[in-house]
Amino acid sequence: MGEEKSKRRTTVKINGQSYVISGQADVSHIKEVAKFVDEKMKKMRNVNPYLDSTQLAVLAAVNISDEYLRLKKQQESIKKDGEK
């Protein structure tokens, strides 16, 4: 299937550390995602300057998941309404 061939490797910087992200997504999308996480972590650090990098990353993940799950539920309820 040549799956490996179609996978790109993009290096991004998040919270001062480099990460290699591999996937089929556009480089521009991967860079947008990385910037989004980096900014969330920065915001978390501004609010909680005493947290370490792991705690910052976990709390950023919690924050993003909160938004994601809310949006998902909202979309599912719109779909259900449409089916009525």
Helix (H, G, I), strand (E, B) or coil at 48: coil
Instruction: Give the shortest CB-1-to-a second copy separation in angstroms.
Output: 19
Burial 15-48, CB ≥16 within 10 A → b, else e: beeeeebeeeeeeeebeebbeebbebbeebbeee
Contacting positions for a second copy (CB under 8 A): 14-15, 17, 19, 21, 25, 29, 32-34, 36-37, 40-41, 52-55, 57-62, 64-69, 71-72, 75
Instruction: Give the shortest CB-45-to-a second copy separation in angstroms.
Output: 13
Nearer to a second copy, 9 or 75 (CB): 75
- Name the H helices within the chain: 3-6, 27-47, 53-83
Nearer to a second copy, 1 or 20 (CB): 20
Nearer to a second copy, 9 or 17 (CB): 17
